[in-house]
A and B are shown apart, each in its own frame.
Chain A
Amino acid sequence: DTGVSQNPRHKITKRGQNVTFRCDPISEHNRLYWYRQTLGQGPEFLTYFQNEAQLEKSRLLSDRFSAERPKGSFSTLEIQRTEQGDSAMYLCASSYRGGPPYEQYFGPGTRLTVT
């Protein structure tokens, strides 16, 4: 168990560019989540996958945001035409479905800075 990994750890981009982040969950975890955290605030839920199915998307996830989880393994979060307001820490978490609710394990996050 190597934990949840996220790449890249830091990303600086210019406004209007597209960016893509990757999350590798803990193996055998079939649930995967994306959250966004701005400075001084708690993380906010963005979206949730069970296996490859995206079951819920927050209204925070505008049309410029898209998330995928092909084959129910790793996940990508893409932001198109980035805006300065997209600057934040993007956190990925995974958990195992079955029995009592298991905790969500978080990765270290990807810090996005839009200039």
Chain B
Amino acid sequence: DAKTTQPTSMDCAEGRAANLPCNHSTISGNEYVYWYRQIHSQGPQYIIHGLKNNETNEMASLIITEDRKSSTLILPHATLRDTAVYYCIVRVILRNTDKLIFGTGTRLQVFP
């Protein structure tokens, strides 16, 4: 199973862009990159996912390198409510398998 590596923690000023990196050098061709975040004592919240193309939604942008070995989650204008643990995840979907493989995540602290 592919695994991900993320910085343990990051800080970001409110209103600035937060760029969260992730390495997934052993990812396979049929495995997706997902990003979730978790605010203390709540269930993980979906942010965005991609296979090989860059993706954007109302919450964030996902930039995946051409070799798919790393990606970056971009929160364009961080707010205090974006303070959370952000997980970069590989999703394995095969015939009888469908699971998210979480790492330990990046604790993002947004400060005023």
Contact = CB atoms under 8 A, between A and B. Distances in A.
B98 interface: yes
A25 interface: no
Contacts of B45: 106
Contacts, number: 55
Interface residues of B, number: 22
A31 B98 contact: yes
Nearest to B93: A101
Interface string A98-115: 000101111111000000
| Interface majority SS (helix, strand, loop, mixed), chain B | strand
A91 interface: yes
| Interface majority SS (helix, strand, loop, mixed), chain A | strand
B44 A101 contact: no
Nearest to B105: A42
Interface in B76-112: 87, 91, 93, 96-105
Interface of A: 4, 31, 33, 35, 40-45, 48, 50, 55-56, 91, 93, 95, 101, 103-109
Given A55-B98, A104-B100, A106-B44, 20 more contacts: A33-B98, A35-B102, A40-B104, A42-B87, A42-B102, A43-B44, A43-B100, A45-B99, A45-B100, A45-B101, A48-B97, A48-B98, A48-B99, A50-B98, A56-B98, A56-B99, A93-B43, A101-B49, A101-B91, A107-B43
